[in-house]
Structure 1
Amino acid sequence: MTNDFYCEEVLSGNTEVDKVRETDNVLAYHHTKPFYPVHIVAIPKKHISSLITLDESDHPLLLELMLVIKEIAGSITEKHGSCKIITNLGKYQDSKHLHWHIVSGEPLKQKQ
């Protein structure tokens, strides 16, 4: 697989992450290079390239992923007052593995 940080680095164990929540099929962790003060990424452990490539057989996995996202988003909203849940498609999607960002706060200035 090419351009899949999640399979190649996170799920393989090559890059250590600070886990927030893990199930048999889903992993959520603090972003390794956060763009927001609170920045968590949630991914399926199965490789799915994006939201628009989901198969009908992936529906139970998508439901499990959304339940994890809901739990984390609720916790963040309770603590910080609000959050955003973001996924990207096409040229906006750097890593070709379905993933959701759960974020709160104003975007951080990135080092150039």
Structure 2
Amino acid sequence: MSEDFYCDEVLSGHTQVRMVIETPNVLAYHHTRPYYPVHIVVIPKKHIASLLTLEASDAELLAELFDVIKQVASAVVSEHGACRVLTNLGQYQDSKHLHWHVAFGQPLRQNYFM
């Protein structure tokens, strides 16, 4: 896996995804290798390595990102009654691009950080 799957594959168009929501700065799509029965990834289109590298200048983008996360989470809760919303850091973050998971259901497989 590349260091930044989201820039190298998804945003470049090399890997096709099933889009959920797209705004000028944010993309939400169904995970390409889902860990849960419902597993949606939300990413900023701008490269930001992780939650820990956010800058004050990213405030507007972060607000848009969380608006999309809220919309996706609301839709999942409306349909399924619950969801998880999380991000990973450090060794748990396989792709070094800020991303959030919105998921519902029991894990489909083991030993996966999301």
- Partner residue of 1:104? 104
Q: Deviations over 1:27-65 (max 9, x none)?
A: 000000000000000000000000010000001000100
SS state of the match for residue 42, structure 1?
strand
- Partner residue of 2:30? 30
Letter in 1 for 2:82: S
Alignment of 1:51-66 (within 5 A): 51-66=51-66
- Partner residue of 1:77? 77
Tell me, in whole angstroms, the C-alpha distance in 2 between the residues paired with 1:59 and 1:40: 23
Letter in 2 for 1:56: A
Name stretches of at least 5 consecutive residues in structure 1 with no aligned partner: none
In percent, how many aligned pairs have the same letter? 64
SS state of the match for residue 13, structure 1?
coil
- Give the TM-score, by structure 1 length: 0.95
Q: Which runs of 4+ in 1 moved over 2 A?
A: none
- Partner residue of 2:8? 8
- The two structures, once aligned, show a CA RMSD in angstroms of 0.8
- Partner residue of 2:43? 43
- Give the TM-score, by structure 2 length: 0.94
Q: Deviations over 1:63-83 (max 9, x none)?
A: 100000001100100100000
